[in-house]
Chains A and B, each alone.
Chain A
Amino acid sequence: MKREGETVDVRADFWEHLGPCKQKLYNYIQKVLNFSVDADDVFQDAVLRAFQYYGSYKVEKKFSTWLFAIAHNEMRKHLRKASRSAAQLNPDLAHVQVTGENQETVREIYRLAERLKPRQREVFFLLYDTGFTVEEISRITGLKKGNIKFILNQARNSLRAFFGERDGR
């Protein structure tokens, strides 16, 4: 466990902290970037950046919030470059395995999420995929809580309408 005032090699400490968050982080980046071919690179960059800046991580703060904030910045950088170079994001979910009974519903939800703006998509997945609270999402993205709640309400309204149509209401 990391202790203040110790000059130790903290590689092992970092990987220990990363372990439980790694898969959630990977899924978050993949989903926000619409399963783009660049998502793996962005994930690697995010993890390495977190490793480099681990010295600045304060023990009293939640590691996952700190890590996802770094990932958020890496994704913003990537999306800025992608918009400038008109890189193609891969909207086709065919190569992603969807298991379970509600396969078509799941695909449809991801298609709805894909139509959101990047910032809205981030908020959507931070809540529904990673399970962060509105307060934590605010710390990760820098957005105000009011904005986050607005984004989530819009997403809920769209999905409510979709479920309503699907159920024939």
Chain B
Amino acid sequence: MDDENRLDEKISQLVQSLEMRVPRAVDENIKMAASSLRSPSILSRRRRLRRLVLFPSAAALILALLFLSPFIRKRQAPAIFEIRTEFEIKDKDIKIIFIQRNDYKLFEEN
């Protein structure tokens, strides 16, 4: 292990003896490009997560409500305005039609 550490130290020294400086032009290009980018904010990750979760969730909720609303709403009985009953006596060629309406008053008030 010692031998390995010594070898590693030797290699590190030799490798690190070649060191390059960041060229000024590269530095300036980076600063210029960065100034035109939107400034990163501390909350940007949270905001992104919120947007990722919030809008699709809201959309899913609205769609779910639309699909389920016929089942959630109480079923109203369809309004009946008229009941029509037909009787036919074929050999006597008689047809009787009873029509019952909901506005029919059995007893008329004087």
- Number of A-B residue pairs at CB separation under 8 A: 106
Query: Which residue of B has the minimal Cβ distance to A101?
Result: B17
Question: Min CB distance, A22 to chain B, in Å?
Answer: 6
Within 8 A of A (CB), among B1-24: 4, 7-8, 10-12, 14-23
Query: Which residues of the partner chain A approach B80 to less than 8 Å between Cβ atoms?
Result: none
Is B76 interfacial (CB-CB < 8 Å)? no
A100 with B12, Cβ < 8 A, contacts A14-B40, A44-B33 known: no
A43 with B26, Cβ < 8 A, contacts A48-B37, A106-B17, A128-B8 known: yes
Dominant SS at the A interface?
helix
Is A98 interfacial (CB-CB < 8 Å)? yes
Contact A7 B40 (CB under 8 A): no
Contact for A105 among B14, B16, B40, CB less than 8 A: B14
Contact B40 A53 (CB under 8 A): yes
Query: Which residue of A has the minimal Cβ distance to B7?
Result: A156
A100 with B17, Cβ < 8 A, contacts A7-B41, A52-B37 known: yes
Is A66 interfacial (CB-CB < 8 Å)? no
Q: How far is the CA of A97 from the CA of B8 in the complex (A)?
A: 23
Contact A55 B19 (CB under 8 A): no
Q: How far is the CA of A31 from the CA of B15 in the complex (A)?
A: 10
Contact B11 A55 (CB under 8 A): no
Which of the four size classes fits the interface of chain B? Answer: 20 to 34
Q: How far is the CA of A103 from the CA of B45 in the complex (A)?
A: 47
Q: List 14 A-B contacts (CB under 8 A).
A: A10-B41, A27-B20, A31-B18, A43-B22, A43-B26, A47-B30, A51-B40, A55-B44, A56-B44, A106-B18, A109-B14, A156-B4, A159-B7, A160-B7
Dominant SS at the B interface?
helix
Contact B11 A159 (CB under 8 A): yes
Contact B22 A23 (CB under 8 A): yes
Query: Which residues of the partner chain B approach A96 to less than 8 Å between Cβ atoms?
Result: 18, 20
Is A76 interfacial (CB-CB < 8 Å)? no
1/0 contact trace for A125-169 toward B, CB 8 Å? 101110100000000000000000000000110011001000000
Contact A23 B19 (CB under 8 A): yes
Query: Which residues of the partner chain B approach A105 to less than 8 Å between Cβ atoms?
Result: 14
Contact B20 A102 (CB under 8 A): no
Q: How far is the CA of A20 from the CA of B55 in the complex (A)?
A: 40
Contact A109 B11 (CB under 8 A): yes
Query: Which residues of the partner chain A approach B7 to less than 8 Å between Cβ atoms?
Result: 156, 159-160, 163
